[in-house]
Amino acid sequence: MKTVMAKHAVLSSGAKMWRSLSCAKSELRLDLTLACGQSFRWRETAEGHWTGVMAGRVWTLTQTDDTVWYHVYKDKGMQGEGCDSKRGAGVSLQMGNKSDKSFKGALKKEEQEEPVAVTSVHDTEEEEDMLRDYFQLNVKLGDLYEEWGAADPHFKCIADVFTGVRMLRQDPTECLFSFICTSNNHISRIQGMVERLCQALGAPLCQLDQTSYHNFPSLSALADSSVEACLRDLGFGYRARFLQQSAKQILDTHGLQWLEGLRGVPYVQARDALRTLPGVGTKVADCVCLMSLDKAEAVPIDTHVWQIAKRDYNYASGNAQKSITDKLHRDIGDFFRKLWGPYAGWAQSVLFCADLKKFQKLKEMPDLKQPLKEEKGGGEMRVAYKKTKIKTEEDETVKAMETKSAGRKKAKVSV
DNA sequence: CTCAAACCTGT
DNA sequence: CAGGTTTGA
């Protein structure tokens, strides 16, 4: 009676369970995009195979030269039973949050009791749409790389190796609460924390090999008064309170749909709205704007990006500062927006990715199919930026609006 | 508006 | 100290 334990899918064994999506590696590199610190939910479960939870389902993704292969696990067995009220709410609330029409059918399907998981044509189309939405495949990354490279020699240099680094369009709730965990913290610990968070408070989805996969917790699950103590036990430290308080504040003063509604609000307004939440400062707010709220111009500035600005762009302003001030945030963000344009946040993620320790080996051994580009002296690249004008006039919309809305945590947003 | 210190925990 | 935020001078 004990069912055979399900396993992670592998492309080489059982091609029938895989579906495909035409997509060149220059448009999407799964390994870089999924492991560069945007989402903390994907794991490499086999060589080049990435497994994680997205839109309430468990996926394994892999790719060949011109194709992305995906498999969606169907496990009705674990749903609808064995979850407490908090978790139960997790499923429906999570799905209810989706405003996109393409996700409409999801809630109904979960509630039905189909004995066998037959994948209908409708499911197939729906899931392909989910992927296209999540990876924002309508955005032509190759064209953007061309533009950034034309405007910025240093970017062009990096871009030859780090192609296909693409911004994910994440669920706003998952994105916000994951990034509240990032303060004063490093990626490896954040990954563990987010995993424990989902395991403790998220609805279970399925189990593969020794790993159980859970949905990200709902707002109401996170807002429960018992959550802070629970998360402190799980090693969240002072962030435990931030998570619970932010969830409660959103539900009490804004409502369930508020976060998603910020997608339709201008960047600066959305960012200031987020900053009213405990544990959410400038950097975290920018991350959420960029990675889940469709604000491509948001450039999250952390100490690491500051180092990049100083080292590769000869950014001198704020040298006296010991740490990043609010003003420095604004100035560096404006600097990069001026350089890269409306998708500056996407460009920044490429450089950020290229600077991660775990990807350094790619710089030494580029693609074999591509002949080595001729070495360009790094020193000369920098000279080009020696005299780069850092400050610009008040002509930028973003800047103008920022100075206007100075009252930080007071900002009231009517959505 | 700027600045430093404290905040949890793991390396 | 770490990919930060809050708080009080």
Q: Which nucleotide is the nearest neighbour of A328, by CA and C1'?
A: B2
Query: Does a structural domain hold residue A222?
Result: yes
Say if A56 falls within a structural domain.
yes
Strand B contact at CB of residue A406, distance < 7 A: yes
Same domain, A181 and A65: no
- How many other β-carbons are positioned within 10 Å of the β-carbon of residue A310? 15
Please give residues of chain A from 200 to 239 whose alpha-adjacent beta carbon (CB) lies under 7 Å from any atom of strand B. Answer: 232, 235-239
- Confidence band for A1, pLDDT divided at 50, 70 and 90: low
Residue A384: its pLDDT value, please?
A: 34
Q: Are residues A32 and A156 in the same domain?
A: no
- Encode pLDDT of A99-150 as tens digits: 443 443 444 444 444 445 567 788 889 999 999 999 999 999 999 999 999 9
Nearest residue to B10 via alpha carbon and C1' = A189
Q: Residue A31 CA to C6 C1' — how many Å?
A: 36
pTM of the model: 0.84
Residues A134 and A204 placed together within one structural domain of the fold: no
- For all residues of chain A together, what is the average pLDDT? 83
**Whether residue A348 is found in the same domain as residue A288:** yes
Write the pLDDT tens digit of every residue in A323-348.
899 899 999 999 999 999 999 999 99
Say if CB A250 and CB A88 are below 8 A apart.
Answer: no
Is the per-residue pLDDT at A390 higher than 90?
A: no
Which is it for the CA torsion A29, A32, A33, A39, positive or negative? positive
Distance separating alpha carbons of residues A196 and A207, to the nearest angstrom: 15
pLDDT tens-place string over residues A149-193: 999 999 999 999 999 999 999 999 999 999 999 999 999 999 999
Q: Which residue is nearest to nucleotide C3 (CA to C1')?
A: A302
- Provide the CB-side half-sphere exposure for A57 (13 A, CA): 23
Query: Does strand C come within 7 Å of the CB of A345?
Result: no
Structural domains in chain A (count): 2
Determine the average pLDDT of the residues in A306-323: 90
Whether A130 and A205 share a structural domain: no
Q: Is 90 exceeded by the pLDDT of residue A376?
A: no
Contact A278, A241 (CB under 8 A): yes
Q: How deeply is A125 buried, as exposed, middle or buried, from its count of CB atoms within 10 A (0-12, 13-18, 19+)?
A: exposed
The reply to whether A326 has its C-beta less than 7 Å from any atom of strand B is yes
Give CA–CA dist A415/A235, Å, rounded: 35
**Same domain as A153, residue A51:** no
* Domain identity same for A209 and A341: yes
Domain, as residue range, for A15: 9-74+124-138
Domain match, A152 and A129 both: no
pLDDT value, residue A102: 40
For the CA of A87 and the C1' of B7, the distance in angstroms is: 30
